Structures are given as structure tokens and as C-alpha cells.
Structure 1
């Protein structure tokens, strides 16, 4: 080791602060008979002038703390979205029967209300004619004309039709499964008629089919 290198090392070690024995190292300064200076970490050779110095053992610096990355605070989750779904109840469908036994479906149970004279239902609805005989006033009913085609036109007495009533066909609601089946049959019938329909009739069928599809989607859960 060159003398100036040894001096620099010695001055650096001398400037270090004192530490515990476990963290110390000993530096030996040796001078031989010719005056040559040697710095070593082992004792000097016999015949050399020895001087010792104790220094702190070098250590690696402590690791730097990990840099803390500042993160933005997590925003609070938005409140759950509430959706209100309005479901219309299934619309009923009625099957009605005419006096002639003909069956048809209707959205209401009104049953085609109509006014008819009472005598058509078998009830007497005769006018009364006053007859004077021998000073007595007698009132007797006048029978209605016979039902059926007459041989010649007969005058109609308005009094025969003065009494009447409103009647309607008998209707009963269909089960929901039957309703969906009837609606599906009606849609098939529309498609069958559409092929041979006139343009004006096709517009009416298109409108009916759109309403039918909307009803089947709501009432039956199908398209």
C-alpha cells in the first residue's frame, strides 16, 4: 500500500465515531527499521514499531422506506337504482252463446245486448179493445199475429210491439290458458287471411295483429 493511500485511510477511520465492540475493527500502523510505514489489519511483524487504532466496521445504509403512493379516496358506491315495473293484470276473455247455439268470444260479458218485444219471448203482450154490448163495457185482449210467413201481408198493430225488454247472450269467462290459446288461434287466422287480403284489408289486419301481440306479451308472456 502506498504511504499516501495509508494516510487517507487512517484519517478517514480516525474521523469515524466510536461504536460497540461488535462493530469495531482494529487498524495496525507498523514502521520497520528503515522507516517504512505500513497500515494493516493484522498485528505488525516482530521488530516493527506498532500502533493501533480502533474504528467502526463499515455497514450498508438502512434500506429506504418504500415510497407511499397517495391514492385518491375510493368514492362511495352510488345508491342502488330502483325501478318500478307496472304489470297490467290479464284481460278476461268471455265465450258467449246465442239463442241459436252459435258461440263467439267477447272482451266483455255484455253478450250483445239487444231490445226485443216480449211476445217474441213467449210472454203475452196484447193490446186491449173495449167492446160495448148491451150497456156493458167489456175489455178483452187482442192476440198477436201468427208467427210465420202469412199468405198475404197483414197490417201490424203497433200496440203489439209497445212492450219489450233488453236481452243478452249468455257469457262465461274462459280460463287464462284457454284465453292464450284462443288469442294464438286468432293470430294464426290473421296470418292466413293476410295472404289473400286486399291492401285495404291488410291495413286492418296489421292493426289487429299489433294489438293482439301486445296483449299476448302482457297476458301470456309470449310474442
Structure 2
């Protein structure tokens, strides 16, 4: 047990504070008594003990490590408004859709409140017709209101022919159907119905028709995204 404690004793002696030593050297006494017990000490052996003296250099602790530099202060947070300019999104207002009714009671939708204006001669509305010699007549069209005054050439294929026995008619006019704006919710519903109808029609359409269907679907999709949030 004494021999096992010798390394600890030696370590304790070497670790003694500097004021217990006169200089940097440490003297170790190895003392053995009459019974053969070995003792290590820093004072001379007692009388009657066999002594061995050894001088050692006092160990010194290494110099303290330099203090770690302080961590740099975190950079102030940059406001989001200063980091990047705000994103400006221009959104168009919802486009209206109108429901129009023809004189025959048929309904259809139109992008404008004008509906589908049609030019008709006045005699179709009950106005009297008059014949003019020669069979050729002139007409003046008001581009603002669409009304026609004067007379037109008889026999034009793209305009209604007068009744039998009437050679010409003096004037015509534009007929506009009654149109009313639909609520925005109804507009979105009809756009979705039209989109669905185009999907069903696409599979049975000819290749030339499919291209036109795709273009119309793209327009409906853009309008649904902007006006209806789809």
C-alpha cells in the first residue's frame, strides 16, 4: 500500500506552491526505515533511516492561454422594405358580362351592352316603303349612332329584300337587343360552364377546331384567374 501511494506523494510534492521552495529545484528524500518501509518526503530522513536524496526541477504550469477575442456583434437586421423594393402587382378590374334578349325571346351573353346590333330596313319595323325609278338608291350611314338615312340599292344579297311589289325602301336602322349586366358571381359561373363545355367538345372536335378551342380556353382561364380568383 505504501509503494502504491508513492506516485501520488511525489506528485503532491512537485505540485507544492512556490513559497515552499527556495528556488526552481526540488529535493526529494527517499527514506527506508528498519522495517523496510519506503517513504518519499521533502524533508531529510529520520535518524536510523536509509536515505536517498534526488534533486529535480520544479515543474511549472504552462502560461495561460490568451483569452478568446469577443464575438463580433451581430449586424443589425435589415428591414424587409430596405432589402428589396416592394412588389407592385397591377390587377385589372373584373370585366362585366351582359345578358341580352332578342325580340323573339332568345337570350345570349355579350361582352358589351350593345349585344349583337343588326341593320334592318325600316319597312321591317312597319314604316312605309317607296319605290324609286332606276332601281339604284343611295344611303348615308351615321358611324356614331349606326342609323341609316336615304335609300339603298335594291337586290343586295347581304341585306333584306323588300316585300313583293316594293321596288325600294328609303332607309334602314340598327336594331339593338336589350342587354343587362350580370352579377360577378353569375359571370364566374357562366365562364366555368363555358370552360367545361369546351373540354367536352374538344375530344370530338376536328384538329382545326381544337386549336380554336384551346385559344378560347386560355382566354377563359386568364379571366377566371383575374376576375374570379381561380
Give the TM-score normalised by structure 2: 0.54
Counting only pairs closer than 5 Å after superposition, residues 108-127 of structure 1 correspond to structure 2 as 108-122=112-126, 124-127=127-130
Q: Matches of 2:99 and 2:112 in 1, distance apart?
A: 9
Question: Which of 1 and 2 has greater Rg?
Answer: 1
Q: In the alignment, what sits opposite 1:221?
A: 229
User: In the alignment, does 2:122 pair up with 1:86?
Assistant: no
Is there any run of 5+ residues in structure 2 with no aligned partner, and where? 1-19, 24-41, 44-60, 133-162
Q: In the alignment, what sits opposite 1:97?
A: 101
Contact 1:125 1:163 in 2 (8 A): no
The match for 2:193 among 185, 192, 196 is 185
Change (3 A) 1:126 1:65: same
| Alpha-carbon displacement from aligned partner over 1:40-76 (angstroms, at most 9, x marks no partner) | 8xxxxxxxxxxxxxxxxxxx9xx87733246376266
Change (3 A) 1:220 1:11: closer
Q: Matches of 1:184 and 1:76 in 2, distance apart?
A: 47
Counting only pairs closer than 5 Å after superposition, residues 201-212 of structure 1 correspond to structure 2 as 201-212=209-220
Is there any run of 5+ residues in structure 1 with no aligned partner, and where? 1-8, 13-38, 41-59, 130-152
Counting only pairs closer than 5 Å after superposition, residues 122-137 of structure 1 correspond to structure 2 as 122=126, 124-127=127-130
Superposed structure 1 runs of 4+ greater than 4 Å apart: 9-12
Count of residues in correspondence between the two structures:
144
**RMSD, aligned CA:** 3.3
| Counterpart secondary structure, 2:100 | strand
